[in-house]
Structure 1
Amino acid sequence: MVVRRLVMACGVAFAVGGMGLLGNPALAAGVSLTQAQQGWVHRIESSLAATKTFQARFEQVTEHDGTSTGTVLLERPGKMRFSYDPPSPLLLVANEGKVVFQDRSIGQITTIPLDHTPLGLLLRPDPRFSGDVSILGYEQQNSEIQLRVTRTENPGEGEMTLFFSTRPLSLKGWTVLDAQGHRTIVHFSSVQTGISVPSSSFVLPKDED
């Protein structure tokens, strides 16, 4: 499906239209963390909340579409833009409580609620890895932390692994694994925070007349 391919190419979807891909009503069983690990999770939450603006280059790898690159912009709360380098026809913009995907090659616009994507977690005013989000795994090696998370009420929708550098503490990328076993990897480089971002960057794409 074209819509499914577009969503996964952007590497941000757990669900489409608000329903789990497997319709799994089971609750996620979270991992038990040590006190030190809990401390790092709290520091990560605080770091994400304190990051009001963010700009970086990204490299994205998918099984079917290979490697693509571009620029990502973030403004918390609720705004994000993935601009893909040519010749990719894709554009993703999160704003006004929704995520809009544009595929210029076929003139298609796809809209899903922001809260039904992992971006909903990252763009919240006060990000938390608890409650409606469960931590499935925690790994720390040298200066990198990996947090594997899912939606607590519908783990069958898929899962996301977030990568953080600890020196300094910052988001370095993520991997999304959907319910069909398809994996999308996104890595950030040349990260800048606390920058001024034009509001025009987050105008939502619209169907061309």
Structure 2
Amino acid sequence: MKPSLPAPVLAAAALALALASGPAGSQPLDIRPATQPTAPKSSQQRATPLPPIRPPGLGLPRNETAEAPAPSPVVTATNDPRPAPAAKPARPSGPLSKPEAVERLNAYFNGFATLQGDFIQFAADGRRFEGKLYIQRPGKMRFEYRPPVTTEVIADGTSVAIRDKKLATQDLYSIGQTPLKFLLKERMDLAKDSTVTGVSTKGDILTVKIEDRSTLGGTSKITLNFDLAANELRQWVVIDPQGYETSVSLYNLDTQRRPDQKNFVINYERVL
């Protein structure tokens, strides 16, 4: 049996945001609800977990804390193509305005070409899934779920393939209407490419709410949680056009190591 993917949620499915709402294990993922929702929960009604708390002192200058870890050495060999890590922006002394928040996130997203790390995904019904995330901009991405989930989500720059390794099924979708363009576009401008609906700061976490009206099926509402001290994206929460909410939290991020290009290969013969 192949996964059943209603048109209104294809865009979210393309980035594995709603796919894992289906059963885990050897069964194919099916994001159709048993009954239509009466009133989808908002992100304010249900607390969305973040990854493990950032260690004390992370991101602070060494003279401000004795617990700050030593910076990793930068490889400068001529045969190493990786650029030296960019200096982290200073932590703001107060809440950021909307233009300042957009500028901070744009600088972050446009400051790396590759990213890989671990993710924790919570489906709309609260179930938890984990795995590895690989990104190479523009357009390449891979969500690799840990067992018992047998699904992989791969973008090769043109298409998004949703593949079940155990059932040997594969479905293809266009990459052009995904709700998370900030992860895949070569250059991102949140204010230009989406509608910024809200900005707030709580402690070190900057929260930016945006709406993307170009996703398939209608408008997707996206919340980005960004760690100002560590200068890292910590979490996104997507409410798809049907009203289903899925969150993805990130940790152990690495923007220096180049992912293996085999991670982004789609076998189109499976579809033919």
TM-score by length of 1: 0.79
Task: For 2:161, give the aligned amino acid.
Answer: V
Conserved? CA contact 1:93–1:205, under 8 Å: no
- Alignment counterpart, residue 97 of structure 1, candidates 158, 163, 178: 158
Alignment of 1:64-75 (within 5 A): 64=125, 66-75=127-136
Change (3 A) 1:199 1:115: same
What residue in structure 1 maps to residue 5 of structure 2?
A: 3
* 1:57-100 C-alpha deviation (Å, 9 max, x unpaired): 11101134711100001111111110000110110111222221
Task: For 2:112, give the aligned amino acid.
Answer: T
2:50 is the counterpart of 1:50: no
* 1:11-57 C-alpha deviation (Å, 9 max, x unpaired): 179xxxxxxxxxxxxxxxxxxxx973312211210111111111111
* 1:117-175 C-alpha deviation (Å, 9 max, x unpaired): 12333211111112341112212111111111112467942211111111122111211
- Alignment counterpart, residue 180 of structure 1, candidates 242, 245, 249: 242
Separation in 2 of the partners of 1:36 and 1:139?
8
Separation in 2 of the partners of 1:119 and 1:9?
7
Matched residue SS, 2:263? helix
Provide the aligned length of Structure 1 versus Structure 2: 189
Moved more, 153-162 or 140-149: 153-162
Change (3 A) 1:65 1:144: closer
Moved more, 95-104 or 157-166: 95-104
User: Identity over aligned residues, as a percent?
Assistant: 23
Conserved? CA contact 1:61–1:67, under 8 Å: yes
Alignment of 1:154-193 (within 5 A): 156-193=218-255
Separation in 2 of the partners of 1:35 and 1:65?
31
2:191 is the counterpart of 1:130: yes
Change (3 A) 1:203 1:3: same
What residue in structure 2 maps to residue 19 of structure 1?
A: none
Separation in 1 of the partners of 2:220 and 2:193?
14
> RCO higher in 1 or 2 (8 Å CA, sep ≥ 6)?
1
Gaps of 5+ in 2: 20-94
Matched residue SS, 2:132? strand
Conserved? CA contact 1:159–1:176, under 8 Å: yes
Gaps of 5+ in 1: 14-33
Task: For 1:2, give the aligned amino acid.
Answer: S
Conserved? CA contact 2:15–2:180, under 8 Å: no
2:167 is the counterpart of 1:110: no
Separation in 1 of the partners of 2:15 and 2:193?
25
Q: How much does 1:110 deviate?
A: 2.2
Answer with 1 or 2: which has the greater Rg. Answer: 2
